[in-house]
Structure formats: structure tokens, C-alpha cells
Structure 1
């Protein structure tokens, strides 16, 4: 069946609908993967959530950092609430239903038939795919559990920055969260350089994109991710980056997954924000 992965939407509902029309997407026949960041900064986060939720089993979503931010704000963590454009979701009559649906989305999706894995951001070099899937399940259990609000209160922060199998509790969950939803660059020792956000070549000496780290244990696995609008569409080294900056006036990218080679289809976007507004 035709299967597509689409990059970060961030509330750009009109562009999403236009791209689905361009693909002649039929939820009765086709399948859609979404790399996360459905919401925030763009103008129509509520409409995006409703559209994707209503696609049912035709759509598979992994959570991004902005999706987790919505859940955190809804749970009372207002640390970064002033940078949000989430009022329409938080005030919607179907708010609780939508938030519950979102909270039960995975943070990693793997398809054996397609031999593809989807995450929002990145993997540390110390994780093979089996370790990544195990860590993803831990985070998913925390988000879906009765104490999820407690974790969302402690979610933000850049520490710990280096993986150890001995990490426990909220520190372990925070590290997993930062890898799967925030990571772009790593230090030479394999620790997370979470403050590095720019395009390739702009980073401080010694820092490398997570997918170019020497000895990366997931290098033999085909991985699709978003999150990195300054990287844009990028294919190589067994990874496909598909956040092409729709929000910023770039493009919304769909990647055809059931063809060889994987083929990108792009929709030019007018942009809702200037990069200086980030």
C-alpha cells in the first residue's frame, strides 16, 4: 500500500491538507507516518490534531518536543509556556480527548516490513536499535501511566548529557526524552550537545550530527526523523531528515516509503514565522 512520512507540521493545517491532496492520499488505502511536532508556533494546531486523530489507524505519529510541551503545559508546567501558541487546543471543548490521544502516541515507530524506523530527533551513538526501542517503551510507559503529570513537571533540562545504562528514575527518562525529541549534535565523547541547533558546518569544532558520529551503533538501521529545519531535507548514511521548515517558509516534505529508492515529494510553504521569531 502507498505509505508516506511527513515532516514537522507545527500547526500548518492548510499546508498539510494541500500536501495530502497533492499525494491523493486516501486513508482507506494509504498509510501516513508523521515525525512529530504536530503543534505549536503555527496558526492551526487544534485543526491539525483533529485531522490526524480522525485518520485513525491510517496515521502513525511519534511525539516531538513541541507535542510534549503541549502535554507539559496542560499538566501545569508553565516553564516555557510564554513561547507557546497553544491556547486554542487548551481551550477546546474536546481538549481532554485530544490530549489523551496525544499522550498515548509512541516516541519511536519501527516497521519490519519496510525496514524503517521513525523518531522525531535522534539517537545517541551508544544505542543500537534494540536499546532505542527499549528506551522508547520506558518513556511511553511513563507518559501513559497514572503519574505522567509528575514526569512532565521534571521533563525539562539538559542533564544528564551522557548515556549510562545505570541511569535511573527521572534522569533516565529525561535523557531518553532529550535524545528522541531534541537531539541534533553530539560531542566527541558521545554526550548530547543540545544547545547546538544550526545548519551543518555552523557547529562548534568537535561536534558532529548524531547520525555522523563514529561508531554509531544504529548505523545499519534505516531511520527517518524531523526536528531539524536548518538541516532541511537530507538523505544519506542510512537516514532521511524530512523537516524542511514549512513553518519558516520552506517546504512540507512527504517521503514515499514503499518505493526504492525512497522518494521525496515537497510542497512549497509561504511560512508563518521568520526564523528570528523562533
Structure 2
């Protein structure tokens, strides 16, 4: 039995199948943990969702920003981009089944490791413990999986508020939680989340630092944070844990981390690179 965390697939199903062959994945004994962004910009978003959902309890995922974008487009909110490749999901005969499955997924998951590692798509604020992150994920999951989830999607978009406060309530609270888990890369010294910078940290202005370079307030014995989202980061290991987005959809690699011994496995992308920059 082995557990693998896998970086952003983004509709690159051929690359995923190649990676699973490379690690000799056995769905009867092994478990996959996806870091979100299952869909979009790659050529086979619909097939990817069908495949991962079809793995049943052998696969788990957190939601990424592209997954939420798909949910928003299904609801008729949000802006469709020329680089989107998810219309096939919206128009599929089993589209509603796939959407209902996707919206049940959390923003954070505790991984099956002795040190209780955490899986998210983009990151975790320095002041959030793993327990706090899981609780906040549950708040959002309760709304997304509920009967009025489309109302929430209609107010999801926006960059405000951009600094955490435990006193935040309602839409503002949930919007910031979603943005942290699915969009965050850089923070300012005052704790505000920056949503614009997407390149390597070395190219950032001096008032910005990667979220994982800030001192974490919770107890240091908490396990690593495994995430994706940042294909231009160009480093797998970092002070918080592991970034598994190695730019498969841009012609890079697809990465798996075996959680049992933290061994990295990678395969080259099989799909042609997406036409736009990250």
C-alpha cells in the first residue's frame, strides 16, 4: 500500500496515466491525493474528471482555482476566458453528476502520514494551524455542498478582504478563505495577500515574500504542507513542505510525492503546451 500526492493535472489525462504507470499505481491498494486544478487549459478536462471520480475511494482531491472556475461557469457566473478548455464539462450529458461530485470536495485535507501533513491547492496563512485550516475548509465545503451553493458562487469573486481577521463573517470570511487556499502565492509584511504576482520569488518586489517564508505561528511539530498552484516557483521543496505543480500543462512535468517516504516521481508532459502563459 502506498499513498501519492499529485500536482496540478489541468486536463492532462495522458500525462496522468503515464505517471500512474510510472509509479505502478494499484487502485486496489494505493491511494492518490490530488492538489487541485484537475481541469482547464489542458485538452481533456472532461475525461480527467470522469477518470478521477471513477477511482472512488482510491482518489481524493482538494479544490483549486480552476476547479472553482468550472463551478462558476456551470452556474452562469464568472467570466469565460479564451484559454478555457472546460466547456466540454458543462455541455456533457453527465456534466451535472461531475459538477455535483466536484463541489463536494474540500479545500484542505489531512494526509495519511505519521506527521499529519496537510494538502491544499495554493497555501495556508502563517497564523493558521492545520486544525484551523481544516475547520475553515469545512466551513466552505458546507456551503458548496449545500442546496444554495450557486448563490455563494455568485459572490465568490473578488480580492477583498485581503487580510485575515478571526472576526470576519459571512461572504467576506468565506471569500478570503477560498482565495487563500486556491490563489495565494505572496504576502506583504502586514499580512495582506497579494493576488497579482505569479513569477519566481527572486523577481518579486521587496515588499512581497512567498507565504511559506513567513514564520508559522502554530506549533512547529505540525507536518509539512503539500500544495500546487505555483508552476513558476521552480522548487519542489520549500520551508513549508512541497510544491507539486511542475507545469505539466505548460509542457513541463507532472509530479507525484510518495507520502510514505517523501520520494519524488516525475514524468514529462505528453500533451502539447497550453497556448497562454500561467
TM-score computed with the length of structure 1 as normaliser: 0.94
Q: CA separation of 1:250/1:133 partners in 2, compared to 1, >3 Å: closer, same or farther?
A: same
Give 2:150's aligned residue. Answer: 149
Q: Note if 1:15 corresponds to 2:24.
A: no
Give 1:243's aligned residue. Answer: 245
Aligned equivalents of 1:17 and 1:112: distance in 2? Answer: 23
SS of match in other structure, 1:208: strand
Q: More displaced, 228-237 or 241-250?
A: 228-237
Give 1:165's aligned residue. Answer: 166
Count of residue correspondences: 276
Aligned equivalents of 1:236 and 1:198: distance in 2? Answer: 16
Aligned equivalents of 2:78 and 2:232: distance in 1? Answer: 27
Q: Note if 1:92 corresponds to 2:89.
A: no
State the shift of 1:79 in Å. Answer: 2.3
Greater relative contact order (Cα 8 A, min sep 6): structure 1 or 2?
2
RMSD: 1.6
Contact kept? 2:113, 2:260, Cα under 8 Å:
no
Unaligned runs of 5+ in 2: none
Give 1:31's aligned residue. Answer: 31
Q: CA separation of 1:82/1:276 partners in 2, compared to 1, >3 Å: closer, same or farther?
A: closer
Q: Note if 1:50 corresponds to 2:60.
A: no
State the shift of 1:75 in Å. Answer: 0.7
Aligned equivalents of 2:240 and 2:196: distance in 1? Answer: 25
Unaligned runs of 5+ in 1: none
Aligned equivalents of 1:184 and 1:217: distance in 2? Answer: 20
Q: More displaced, 109-118 or 248-257?
A: 109-118
Aligned equivalents of 1:218 and 1:104: distance in 2? Answer: 30
Aligned equivalents of 1:119 and 1:159: distance in 2? Answer: 21
TM-score computed with the length of structure 2 as normaliser: 0.94
1:165-189 Cα shifts (integer Å, max 9, x gaps): 1111111010000000011110001
